[in-house]
Amino acid sequence: MLHTIALLAALAASATAHCTRPLLQEAVDAYLLAQTTGETTPFTAHFDNSTWLGYRENSLKVNITSGIIATPLAITHNRSFYDTSSCATFTEVVVNSSTTPYVIGTQLRFTNHKINKVDSIVTKPGDWLFNITGYAHWTAQEKWDPIPAEKRDTQLTIRKAADAYLDVFNNKNVTVPWGTPCVRLEGGLYGDAGPNGTCAGGVPSGVPLTNRRYVVDEALGSVDVLLDFGNSKWPDSHLFRVEGGRLRYVHTLTHCGRANCGV
Ligand SMILES: *[C@@H]1O[C@H](CO)[C@@H](O)[C@H](O)[C@H]1NC(C)=O
Ligand SMILES: *[C@@H]1O[C@H](CO)[C@@H](O)[C@H](O)[C@H]1NC(C)=O
Ligand SMILES: *[C@@H]1O[C@H](CO)[C@@H](O)[C@H](O)[C@H]1NC(C)=O
Ligand SMILES: *[C@@H]1O[C@H](CO)[C@@H](O)[C@H](O)[C@H]1NC(C)=O
Ligand SMILES: *[C@@H]1O[C@H](CO)[C@@H](O)[C@H](O)[C@H]1NC(C)=O
Ligand SMILES: *[C@@H]1O[C@H](CO)[C@@H](O)[C@H](O)[C@H]1NC(C)=O
Ligand SMILES: *[C@@H]1O[C@H](CO)[C@@H](O)[C@H](O)[C@H]1NC(C)=O
C-alpha cells in the first residue's frame, strides 16, 4: 500500500516535472524566431510529431509551410504567459507596421516535453475593431509585471474571474469580479483608462462563448482563453489580467473574415 502511494506520487511528480518555465520559454523563443524569420524548421524541431494535433490559424488546420508563421514579420511587441500545470503557453504578438499590420495570439500545447498543438488567432485590418496603432500603443502602456508571491491568486481564482466575464455574455445573472479600474483593449479600441474605468459597459447578451481553451499563469496573474465567439463561432482570444481576484485588463482579438464582422 505504502509502496503504491509512493509510486503514484512519483508518477504524478514526473508527469508535471517536465513542464518548467524555462522549457516553455525555450519553445516560445523558437516560435518568435520562426515568426521573425519565416523559417519554420528550427520551430518544428520542438514538435512531438507522434502526438501531433496540428497547426491552426483562426480555428482552421493549415499546413505550417503556408501559415503566417512562414512569412517573416517585424515583431514590435511580444508578451508571453506560461502555464506549468497544463503545459501550455500564450503569446501576444504585435506587428506595428503601416503595410503589414498584425496582432496574433498563439497558444502552444505540449506533451512529452514537446509541442503537439499550435493554435493562433491571426487578426489584421478588417477584423473586429482592428487598429494597429491603438493596439500597439495601449498594450505597451499597461503593466503586466509579475505579481509578488504573497499576493498571487490561485489558478482557480484567475480562471473563475475569466469564466465569469465570459459567462455574463449569455447569462446576466452571473456576478463578475470587475476591478476598478478595469480597461478593455478590443481589437485596437481602448476603454476608459481613468481611475474609475470599467469593463462592465458594452457587454452584449445572448452571446455564447464556447470551446474555451485556457492558459493560466499565476505568476503574471493572467489567463488567455481561445474560444468560439457567439453563434457564428468567430475565432477569438480573450486575455485577462487579474489582480486580487478582480479583472484589471481585458484584451480581445476576434477574426471574422468580413469587415468588422458585418456589424
Ligand atoms: C516533425 O516533423 C517536421 C516535418 O513535418 C520536421 O521538420 C521536424 O523536424 C519533426 N520534429 C521532430 C522533433 O522530429
Ligand atoms: C505541407 O506543405 C509542404 C510543402 O508544400 C509539403 O511538402 C508537405 O507534404 C505538406 N504537408 C501536408 C501534411 O500536407
Ligand atoms: C520579445 O520580447 C522580449 C521582452 O520584451 C524581447 O527581449 C525580445 O527581443 C522580443 N522578441 C522578439 C522576437 O521580438
Ligand atoms: C486608432 O487608435 C489610435 C490610438 O488610440 C487613435 O488615435 C486613432 O484615432 C484610431 N484610429 C481609428 C481609425 O479609430
Ligand atoms: C506604431 O507605429 C506608428 C507608425 O509607424 C508609430 O507612430 C507609433 O509610435 C508606433 N507605436 C508604438 C507603440 O511603437
Ligand atoms: C436569472 O435570474 C432570474 C431571476 O431569478 C431567473 O428568472 C432567470 O431564469 C435567470 N436566468 C438564467 C439564465 O439563469
Ligand atoms: C472615481 O471614484 C471616486 C470614488 O467614488 C470619486 O471620488 C472620484 O471623483 C472618481 N473620479 C473620477 C475621475 O470620476
In a domain, 141, yes or no: no
Could you tell me if the CB of 55 is within 6 A of ligand 1?
no
Cα 152 to Cα 59: distance, rounded to the nearest angstrom: 32
Is the domain of 87 the same as that of 125? yes
Burial classification of residue 45, based on how many CB atoms lie within 10 Å of its CB (0-12 exposed, 13-18 middle, 19 or more buried): exposed
Ligand 4 atom with minimal separation from the 131 CA: 1
Is the domain of 184 the same as that of 84? no
Whole-number pLDDT of residue 262 = 79
Roughly how many angstroms between the first and final C-alpha of the chain, as a whole number? 63
List strands edge to edge, sheet with 189-190. Answer: 189-190, 178-186, 246-254, 234-243, 222-229, 209-217
pTM of the predicted model, to two decimals?
0.93
Is the domain of 93 the same as that of 202? no
Could you tell me if the CB of 137 is within 6 A of ligand 4?
yes
Ligand 2 atom with minimal separation from the 65 CA: 2
Cα 10 to Cα 21, 83, 115, 124, distances in angstroms: 20, 21, 24, 47
Whole-number pLDDT of residue 18 = 62
Residue numbers of the domain that contains 182: 146-262
Of the candidates 153, 145, 134, 156, which has an alpha carbon nearest to the alpha carbon of residue 252? 134
Could you tell me if the CB of 173 is within 6 A of ligand 6?
yes
Last residue of a domain, one of 136, 165, 182: 136
Whole-number pLDDT of residue 258 = 79
Distance of CA 128 to the CA centre of its chain: 17
**Residue entry with cell 453563434:** 231
CA 178 / ligand 1 centre spacing (Å)? 44
CA 29 / ligand 3 centre spacing (Å)? 9
Is the domain of 188 the same as that of 225? yes
Whose C-alpha lies nearest to ligand 4, atom 11? 131
Whole-number pLDDT of residue 52 = 96
Distance of CA 252 to the CA centre of its chain: 9
Whole-number pLDDT of residue 263 = 76
Number of domains in the chain: 2
Return the best residue to mutate from 169, 171, 173, 207 for the ligand 6 pocket (most ligand atoms within 8 A of CB). 173
Ligand 2 environment, Cβ below 6 A: 63, 65
CATH code for the domain in which residue 184 is found: 3.10.450.50
What is the DSSP secondary structure assignment for residue 153, as one 8-state letter?
Answer: P
Whole-number pLDDT of residue 54 = 96
- Vertex 195 angle, CA 193 and 196, to 5°: 90
Ligand 2 atom with minimal separation from the 63 CA: 1
pLDDT tens for the chain, 263 residues: list them.
445 445 444 444 444 446 999 999 999 999 999 999 999 999 999 999 999 999 999 999 999 999 999 999 999 999 999 999 999 999 999 999 999 999 999 999 999 899 999 999 999 999 999 999 999 999 999 999 999 999 999 999 999 999 999 999 999 999 999 999 999 999 999 999 999 999 999 899 999 999 999 999 999 999 999 999 999 999 999 999 999 999 999 999 999 977 778 77
Could you tell me if the CB of 44 is within 6 A of ligand 1?
yes
